[in-house]
Amino acid sequence: MPLGEFDLIQQFFTRDQDQPGLVVGIGDDAAVVKIPPDRRLVVTADTLVAGVHFPEQASPEDIGYKSLAVNLSDLGAMGAIPRWYTLSLTLPVANEAWLSAFSTGLQLLETEEAVVLIGGDTTRGPLSISIQAMGLVRPGAAVLRSGANAGDDIYVTGTLGDAALGLQSVVGEVSESLLPGSALAGCIDRLNRPQPRTIAGYSLAPFVTAMIDCSDGFTADLGHILRASGCGAEVMLESLPLSSAVRCWVESQGWQLPLSGGDDYELIFTADSAQREVINGIAENLHCAITPVGKVVPGAGLKLIKRDGVVVESDPRGYTHF
């Protein structure tokens, strides 16, 4: 007998609903939450579609984890603390093993980030996962894309291009002679299990002028900040933080991959140069690499500058969804 929607939610998506601030959880027409009067609600929504955002053969546990991670990453980029999410799951068939592993992937990140699934629905159709995540910030503390000023430093957390290299590897575009499988395993993990930089996001929020998460690629996402802020930027190409695997790739294949590869979910942000010590302190505290990569400048456009002073034109397109 096939699982009905209600059995399915009961079996795989019921969570402990005894949570601070959660008045009504899963099981009614809608959930009810209490927002503290000294907080603002931050809301984001992202859909992942099979064959577009993850390979058809991706494990259901990875799919669950990543679906939630990309949404929490958006909250992190606002400086918000994630609290709740809803899940709209569209599935061709209700396969119990798949659902169990998918739910496990979600729960792993729920635990890591202390977020609670409070509602949603399940539907029959081609596999796709829509998540809407909610978090809290203090009034006036949300970090927008539009606050960068000429003279600000530009920073990136972690390393760039790993997820894109992982994807190249998964689709068979990386030869063993270029990079051994062991070097690529970490990149595939970055692709499948992105770590949302939520703690870094809300730790940095009071000290930065603009912030975005790197989902479409470095030049595209920095471009969003620059357009929203009405500024340009100069980035020192060799200062971009790269893992050893991506560095090896760049040596033979050039810079395209770390510049325009998406799915890294690192934070790109700008800050007044007076904040350098604070930012270094946060990096040390969180054991999170935070690398200065350039400066915001007056005008428009993004200049990528090589060590020898040669200006490389950037590709402003990044990842296009259509």
* Choice from 78, 106, 205, 288 touching a copy of itself (CB under 8 A): 78
Q: What is the CA radius of gyration of the chain?
A: 20
* Choice from 10, 49, 114, 284 touching a copy of itself (CB under 8 A): 49
b/e burial code for range 130-157 (CB count within 10 A of at least 16 → b): bbbbbbbbbeebbbbbebbeeebbbbbb
Question: Using the rule CB under 8 A, is 75 a contact of a copy of itself?
Answer: yes
| Interactions with a copy of itself, residue window 176-215 (CB under 8 A) | 211-213
> Angle at the Cα of 251 (from 245 to 257), degrees rounded to 5?
65
* Choice from 77, 106, 222, 240 touching a copy of itself (CB under 8 A): 77
Contact 282, 92 (CB under 8 A): no
Question: Using the rule CB under 8 A, is 120 a contact of a copy of itself?
Answer: yes
* String of DSSP letters for 116-149: EEEEEEEEESS-EEEEEEEEEE-TT----STT--
Per-residue binding string, a copy of itself, 223-252, x by CB under 8 A, is: -----x------------------------
* String of DSSP letters for 196-245: --HHHHHHHGGG-SEEEEESS-HHHHHHHHHHHHT-EEEEEGGGS---HH
Question: Using the rule CB under 8 A, is 23 a contact of a copy of itself?
Answer: yes
Minimum Å gap between C-beta 106 and a copy of itself is 15
Minimum Å gap between C-beta 258 and a copy of itself is 21
Question: Using the rule CB under 8 A, is 123 a contact of a copy of itself?
Answer: yes
Question: Using the rule CB under 8 A, is 90 a contact of a copy of itself?
Answer: yes
Segment interacting with a copy of itself (CB under 8 A) among 103-111, 118-126, 159-167, 189-197: 118-126
Question: Using the rule CB under 8 A, is 10 a contact of a copy of itself?
Answer: no
